[in-house]
Structure 1
Amino acid sequence: MSSLSYTLVVNSGVYGTQSSRSAYLFAQSLLKQGHTLTSVFFYQDGVYNGSALTVPANDEFDLVKAWQALALEHSVRLETCVAAALRRGVVGEGEAQQHGLAQDNLALSFEQAGLGSLAEAMLTQDRVVQF
Protein backbone atom coordinates (compact mmCIF):
# COMPACT_ATOMS: atom_id res chain seq x y z
CA MET A 1 0.00 0.00 0.00
CA SER A 2 1.38 3.43 -0.89
CA SER A 3 1.56 6.29 1.55
CA LEU A 4 -0.94 9.12 1.10
CA SER A 5 -0.86 12.71 2.33
CA TYR A 6 -3.84 13.96 4.33
CA THR A 7 -5.35 17.14 5.72
CA LEU A 8 -8.16 16.89 8.25
CA VAL A 9 -10.87 19.52 8.64
CA VAL A 10 -12.41 19.70 12.12
CA ASN A 11 -15.68 21.65 12.44
CA SER A 12 -16.74 20.68 15.97
CA GLY A 13 -15.74 22.11 19.31
CA VAL A 14 -13.15 20.49 21.49
CA TYR A 15 -15.82 19.08 23.84
CA GLY A 16 -19.56 18.46 23.57
CA THR A 17 -19.46 16.05 20.63
CA GLN A 18 -17.25 13.15 19.60
CA SER A 19 -16.21 14.67 16.25
CA SER A 20 -12.97 16.32 17.39
CA ARG A 21 -11.88 13.24 19.34
CA SER A 22 -12.75 11.05 16.35
CA ALA A 23 -10.61 13.29 14.13
CA TYR A 24 -7.73 12.93 16.59
CA LEU A 25 -8.07 9.13 16.69
CA PHE A 26 -8.26 9.06 12.88
CA ALA A 27 -5.08 11.16 12.73
CA GLN A 28 -3.27 8.73 15.02
CA SER A 29 -4.41 5.80 12.90
CA LEU A 30 -3.20 7.45 9.68
CA LEU A 31 0.23 8.04 11.14
CA LYS A 32 0.49 4.48 12.50
CA GLN A 33 -0.29 3.18 9.02
CA GLY A 34 2.58 5.20 7.55
CA HIS A 35 0.57 7.97 5.91
CA THR A 36 1.50 11.64 6.15
CA LEU A 37 -0.71 14.08 8.02
CA THR A 38 0.29 17.48 6.71
CA SER A 39 -2.19 19.64 8.57
CA VAL A 40 -5.38 19.84 10.58
CA PHE A 41 -7.59 22.81 9.72
CA PHE A 42 -9.98 23.82 12.50
CA TYR A 43 -13.04 25.62 11.13
CA GLN A 44 -16.33 26.91 12.56
CA ASP A 45 -16.65 25.69 16.19
CA GLY A 46 -13.58 23.53 15.58
CA VAL A 47 -11.43 26.57 16.37
CA TYR A 48 -12.15 25.95 20.07
CA ASN A 49 -9.66 23.05 19.80
CA GLY A 50 -6.98 25.77 19.68
CA SER A 51 -7.91 27.59 22.87
CA ALA A 52 -5.21 27.73 25.54
CA LEU A 53 -7.93 28.33 28.13
CA THR A 54 -9.52 24.88 27.95
CA VAL A 55 -9.25 23.06 31.29
CA PRO A 56 -10.86 19.61 31.27
CA ALA A 57 -11.66 17.77 34.50
CA ASN A 58 -8.87 15.58 35.91
CA ASP A 59 -10.54 12.39 34.68
CA GLU A 60 -11.19 13.70 31.14
CA PHE A 61 -8.99 13.37 28.07
CA ASP A 62 -7.16 16.65 27.33
CA LEU A 63 -7.73 16.94 23.60
CA VAL A 64 -5.94 20.28 23.20
CA LYS A 65 -2.75 18.82 24.71
CA ALA A 66 -3.20 15.70 22.57
CA TRP A 67 -3.34 17.81 19.38
CA GLN A 68 -0.24 19.71 20.54
CA ALA A 69 1.69 16.49 21.19
CA LEU A 70 0.65 15.08 17.81
CA ALA A 71 1.81 18.26 16.06
CA LEU A 72 5.18 18.25 17.79
CA GLU A 73 5.84 14.55 17.34
CA HIS A 74 4.82 14.35 13.68
CA SER A 75 5.38 17.92 12.39
CA VAL A 76 1.69 18.47 11.71
CA ARG A 77 0.45 22.03 11.18
CA LEU A 78 -2.52 22.90 13.42
CA GLU A 79 -4.36 25.76 11.74
CA THR A 80 -7.37 27.60 13.09
CA CYS A 81 -9.42 29.62 10.62
CA VAL A 82 -8.59 33.16 11.63
CA ALA A 83 -12.03 34.63 10.85
CA ALA A 84 -13.92 31.84 12.65
CA ALA A 85 -11.51 32.03 15.59
CA LEU A 86 -11.79 35.78 16.03
CA ARG A 87 -15.60 35.54 16.04
CA ARG A 88 -15.37 32.95 18.82
CA GLY A 89 -12.72 34.64 20.95
CA VAL A 90 -9.78 32.40 20.03
CA VAL A 91 -7.09 34.97 19.31
CA GLY A 92 -3.44 34.62 18.33
CA GLU A 93 -0.73 37.04 19.41
CA GLY A 94 -0.63 38.91 16.09
CA GLU A 95 -4.39 39.34 15.95
CA ALA A 96 -4.50 40.50 19.59
CA GLN A 97 -1.99 43.24 18.78
CA GLN A 98 -3.74 44.14 15.53
CA HIS A 99 -7.12 44.55 17.24
CA GLY A 100 -5.81 46.23 20.41
CA LEU A 101 -6.66 43.32 22.71
CA ALA A 102 -4.88 42.98 26.04
CA GLN A 103 -4.04 39.31 25.57
CA ASP A 104 -4.17 36.31 23.28
CA ASN A 105 -5.30 32.75 24.00
CA LEU A 106 -4.23 30.62 21.05
CA ALA A 107 -2.64 27.44 22.37
CA LEU A 108 0.99 26.67 21.58
CA SER A 109 1.57 24.72 18.35
CA PHE A 110 -1.57 26.23 16.80
CA GLU A 111 -1.45 28.96 14.20
CA GLN A 112 -4.12 31.06 12.60
CA ALA A 113 -4.61 30.78 8.86
CA GLY A 114 -7.06 31.85 6.21
CA LEU A 115 -9.29 29.74 4.03
CA GLY A 116 -6.60 29.96 1.35
CA SER A 117 -4.59 27.49 3.40
CA LEU A 118 -7.49 25.02 3.30
CA ALA A 119 -7.94 25.60 -0.43
CA GLU A 120 -4.24 24.88 -1.00
CA ALA A 121 -4.52 21.67 1.03
CA MET A 122 -7.47 20.57 -1.08
CA LEU A 123 -5.35 21.03 -4.19
CA THR A 124 -2.12 19.47 -2.93
CA GLN A 125 -3.06 16.66 -0.52
CA ASP A 126 -4.10 13.20 -1.66
CA ARG A 127 -7.05 13.24 0.75
CA VAL A 128 -8.95 15.86 2.76
CA VAL A 129 -11.24 14.37 5.39
CA GLN A 130 -13.82 16.44 7.26
CA PHE A 131 -15.10 15.80 10.79
Structure 2
Amino acid sequence: MSTLTYTLVVNGPLYGTQSARSAYQFARALIQKGHTLVSVFFYQDGVTNGTSLSVPANDEFDLAKAWQNLAQEHGVSLETCVAASLRRGILSEKEATQHCVFKDNLADGFVQTGLGSLAEAMLTQDRIIQF
Protein backbone atom coordinates (compact mmCIF):
# COMPACT_ATOMS: atom_id res chain seq x y z
CA MET A 1 0.00 0.00 0.00
CA SER A 2 1.36 3.41 -0.89
CA THR A 3 0.89 6.22 1.56
CA LEU A 4 -0.62 9.54 0.59
CA THR A 5 -0.44 13.08 1.92
CA TYR A 6 -3.68 14.83 2.81
CA THR A 7 -5.09 18.22 3.66
CA LEU A 8 -8.61 18.41 5.04
CA VAL A 9 -10.82 21.45 4.50
CA VAL A 10 -13.38 21.87 7.27
CA ASN A 11 -16.29 24.23 6.54
CA GLY A 12 -18.56 23.04 9.36
CA PRO A 13 -18.70 24.74 12.75
CA LEU A 14 -17.27 23.35 15.96
CA TYR A 15 -20.74 22.26 17.11
CA GLY A 16 -24.19 22.21 15.53
CA THR A 17 -23.44 19.95 12.55
CA GLN A 18 -21.59 16.67 12.11
CA SER A 19 -19.14 18.07 9.56
CA ALA A 20 -16.20 18.94 11.82
CA ARG A 21 -16.57 15.79 13.92
CA SER A 22 -16.64 13.68 10.74
CA ALA A 23 -13.49 15.43 9.53
CA TYR A 24 -11.79 14.65 12.84
CA GLN A 25 -12.79 10.99 12.67
CA PHE A 26 -11.55 10.80 9.07
CA ALA A 27 -8.27 12.41 10.12
CA ARG A 28 -7.73 9.81 12.85
CA ALA A 29 -8.58 6.97 10.45
CA LEU A 30 -6.21 8.08 7.70
CA ILE A 31 -3.34 8.49 10.17
CA GLN A 32 -4.12 5.06 11.61
CA LYS A 33 -3.88 3.62 8.07
CA GLY A 34 -0.37 5.09 7.71
CA HIS A 35 -1.14 8.14 5.59
CA THR A 36 0.18 11.61 6.42
CA LEU A 37 -2.16 14.41 7.38
CA VAL A 38 -0.19 17.55 6.61
CA SER A 39 -2.79 20.15 7.50
CA VAL A 40 -6.39 20.94 8.30
CA PHE A 41 -7.66 24.18 6.79
CA PHE A 42 -10.69 25.60 8.60
CA TYR A 43 -12.80 27.82 6.37
CA GLN A 44 -16.19 29.57 6.57
CA ASP A 45 -17.94 28.48 9.81
CA GLY A 46 -15.20 25.89 10.26
CA VAL A 47 -12.98 28.58 11.77
CA THR A 48 -15.00 28.25 14.99
CA ASN A 49 -13.07 25.01 15.59
CA GLY A 50 -10.15 27.27 16.49
CA THR A 51 -11.75 29.18 19.35
CA SER A 52 -10.24 29.03 22.81
CA LEU A 53 -13.59 30.03 24.33
CA SER A 54 -15.50 26.78 23.79
CA VAL A 55 -16.40 25.00 27.03
CA PRO A 56 -18.38 21.83 26.30
CA ALA A 57 -20.20 20.03 29.10
CA ASN A 58 -18.17 17.42 30.99
CA ASP A 59 -20.02 14.57 29.29
CA GLU A 60 -19.55 15.97 25.76
CA PHE A 61 -16.71 15.33 23.35
CA ASP A 62 -14.31 18.30 23.34
CA LEU A 63 -13.67 18.61 19.63
CA ALA A 64 -11.45 21.71 19.88
CA LYS A 65 -9.18 19.91 22.35
CA ALA A 66 -9.21 16.82 20.13
CA TRP A 67 -7.94 18.87 17.18
CA GLN A 68 -5.20 20.30 19.38
CA ASN A 69 -4.15 16.83 20.55
CA LEU A 70 -4.14 15.51 16.98
CA ALA A 71 -1.89 18.35 15.88
CA GLN A 72 0.50 17.86 18.77
CA GLU A 73 0.69 14.08 18.45
CA HIS A 74 1.08 13.94 14.66
CA GLY A 75 2.59 17.29 13.64
CA VAL A 76 -0.55 18.42 11.80
CA SER A 77 -0.86 22.12 10.98
CA LEU A 78 -4.23 23.56 12.08
CA GLU A 79 -4.92 26.60 9.92
CA THR A 80 -7.87 28.96 10.17
CA CYS A 81 -8.64 31.30 7.28
CA VAL A 82 -7.84 34.74 8.65
CA ALA A 83 -10.59 36.59 6.75
CA ALA A 84 -13.29 34.09 7.75
CA SER A 85 -11.97 34.13 11.31
CA LEU A 86 -12.11 37.90 11.64
CA ARG A 87 -15.71 37.92 10.41
CA ARG A 88 -16.62 35.38 13.08
CA GLY A 89 -14.68 36.90 15.98
CA ILE A 90 -11.77 34.44 16.10
CA LEU A 91 -8.59 36.48 16.49
CA SER A 92 -4.96 35.56 16.92
CA GLU A 93 -2.82 37.71 19.20
CA LYS A 94 -1.40 39.47 16.12
CA GLU A 95 -4.86 40.21 14.68
CA ALA A 96 -6.25 41.38 18.02
CA THR A 97 -3.37 43.83 18.38
CA GLN A 98 -3.65 45.02 14.78
CA HIS A 99 -7.40 45.68 15.10
CA CYS A 100 -7.23 47.12 18.64
CA VAL A 101 -9.38 44.34 20.08
CA PHE A 102 -9.19 43.71 23.81
CA LYS A 103 -8.34 39.99 23.72
CA ASP A 104 -7.29 37.27 21.31
CA ASN A 105 -9.14 33.94 21.34
CA LEU A 106 -7.40 31.67 18.85
CA ALA A 107 -6.76 28.35 20.57
CA ASP A 108 -3.23 27.10 21.13
CA GLY A 109 -1.98 25.01 18.24
CA PHE A 110 -4.02 26.89 15.61
CA VAL A 111 -2.59 29.49 13.23
CA GLN A 112 -4.29 32.03 11.01
CA THR A 113 -3.40 31.90 7.34
CA GLY A 114 -4.75 33.09 4.04
CA LEU A 115 -6.25 31.19 1.15
CA GLY A 116 -2.76 31.01 -0.35
CA SER A 117 -1.99 28.31 2.19
CA LEU A 118 -4.91 26.25 0.92
CA ALA A 119 -3.86 26.85 -2.69
CA GLU A 120 -0.36 25.62 -1.86
CA ALA A 121 -1.80 22.51 -0.23
CA MET A 122 -3.83 21.83 -3.38
CA LEU A 123 -0.62 21.90 -5.39
CA THR A 124 1.51 19.81 -3.02
CA GLN A 125 -0.75 17.24 -1.29
CA ASP A 126 -1.92 14.02 -2.91
CA ARG A 127 -5.50 14.51 -1.69
CA ILE A 128 -7.67 17.40 -0.50
CA ILE A 129 -10.88 16.30 1.25
CA GLN A 130 -13.61 18.81 2.14
CA PHE A 131 -16.07 18.46 5.01
TM-score, L = length of structure 2: 0.99
| Counterpart for residue 62 of structure 2 | 62
* Aligned-pair CA distance for 1:102: 1.2
Instruction: State the number of aligned residues.
Output: 131
2:66 maps to a residue whose letter is A
Instruction: Show structure 1 runs of 5+ residues with no match.
Output: none
**Distance (whole Å) between structure 2 residues aligned to residue 16 and residue 55 of structure 1:** 14
Determine whether 1:71 maps to 2:42: no
Determine whether 1:6 maps to 2:6: yes
* Aligned-pair CA distance for 1:65: 0.2
Q: Secondary structure at the match of 2:101?
A: coil
Instruction: Show structure 2 runs of 5+ residues with no match.
Output: none
Alpha carbon RMSD of aligned pairs, Å? 0.3
After superposition, residues 26-65 of structure 1 pair within 5 angstroms as 26-65=26-65
1:91 maps to a residue whose letter is L
* Aligned-pair CA distance for 1:58: 1.0
Identity percentage over the alignment? 71
| Counterpart for residue 104 of structure 1 | 104
After superposition, residues 11-30 of structure 1 pair within 5 angstroms as 11-30=11-30
* Aligned-pair CA distance for 1:96: 0.4
Runs of 4+ in 1 over 3 A off after TM superposition: none
**Distance (whole Å) between structure 2 residues aligned to residue 83 and residue 76 of structure 1:** 21
1:2-53 CA-partner distances (Å, limit 9, x unpaired): 0000000000100001110000000000000000000000000000000000
**Distance (whole Å) between structure 2 residues aligned to residue 27 and residue 58 of structure 1:** 24
**Distance (whole Å) between structure 2 residues aligned to residue 45 and residue 84 of structure 1:** 8
